[in-house]
Amino acid sequence: QANAYAGLAPLAPDQCCSRALNRPESEVLSDGSLATLLRATIPRQAAFAYQVSQAHYWSSNFLDLALQRYYNFLLLKQSAPGVVLAPTYDIDLMWHTHQLRPQQYCEDTQMLLGKVWAHDDSYQDR
């Protein structure tokens, strides 16, 4: 299956998941572990999906401003590496979108922050 992704991404999807979660591939790919992860994630993602489906998210101006806020968020993290930051929904949308290009995301966060910044969706204090 990994061959189907050759040339499209530096890692196959199963490798990306296991690395992102800092867990062994066998643990991430086992039915019980993945099912547990998905059950915990779906309610959070449903709330996120609802928030970012609001009409103003279709505005180019809003999205341009959200992109600038995301960049400022990265700079804030750069200036305060030990601080836990909770993104607003528009910043989180940009963050998720940035991660759709994993190689670019890794390079960008490595350059700005000195490491790949793991995205933790479990923090919900917005």
Predicted confidence at residue 21, as pLDDT, reads 45
Which residue from 92, 90, 82 is spatially nearest to 114, judged by alpha carbons?
82
Predicted confidence at residue 33, as pLDDT, reads 66
Question: Average pLDDT for residues 15-26, to the nearest whole number?
Answer: 46
Predicted confidence at residue 29, as pLDDT, reads 47
pTM, two decimal places: 0.67
Q: Where are the domains of the chain?
A: 1-51, 54-126
CB 105 within 8 A of CB 64: no
Predicted confidence at residue 4, as pLDDT, reads 45
Predicted confidence at residue 13, as pLDDT, reads 41
Which residue from 92, 98, 99, 105 is spatially nearest to 49, judged by alpha carbons?
92
Q: How many residues does the chain have?
A: 126
Confidence of residue 47 (pLDDT cuts 50, 70, 90): confident
Cα torsion for 100, 98, 62, 50, to the nearest 10°? 50
* Residue 52, pLDDT above cutoff 70: yes
Question: Average pLDDT for residues 87-108, to the nearest whole number?
Answer: 94
